[in-house]
Amino acid sequence: MRHYSIVFNTTTGSRRSLRVNNPNTDLPMPDIESAIGELILNDVFNEERGGLESLNRMELTVVERTQIM
């Protein structure tokens, strides 16, 4: 299983995050950056807690399980 954890800075100085499960990791980085830019421009979070301002960080987590018995 893989997922992206994306953390944004908000206009109130706090952070908002989202998780994208099973992402297409073959997408070129410019496409991913463009999609993040669209999320910031078309804020998907409740603005009462602060609008999205910028990307703080984005991480890819890979969970691998191996059955032993």
Q: What is the pLDDT of residue 58?
A: 96
**What is the domain count for the chain?**
1
Q: What is the pLDDT of residue 46?
A: 75
| Contact assessment for residue 14 and residue 50, using Cβ atoms and an 8 Å cutoff | yes
Specify if 53 maps to a domain. yes
8-67 confidence digits (pLDDT tens): 999 999 999 999 999 999 999 999 999 999 999 998 777 777 889 999 999 999 999 899
pLDDT attached to residue 48: 78
Q: Is residue 15 a contact partner of residue 58, using CB atoms and an 8 Å limit?
A: no
Report the pLDDT value the prediction gives residue 9, as an integer from 0 to 100. Answer: 95
Which residues span the domain enclosing 54? Answer: 2-62
d(CA 28, CA 11): 28
| pTM of the complete model | 0.83
Position 28 in a domain: yes
Report yes or no on 14 lying in a domain. yes
Amino acid at 33: E
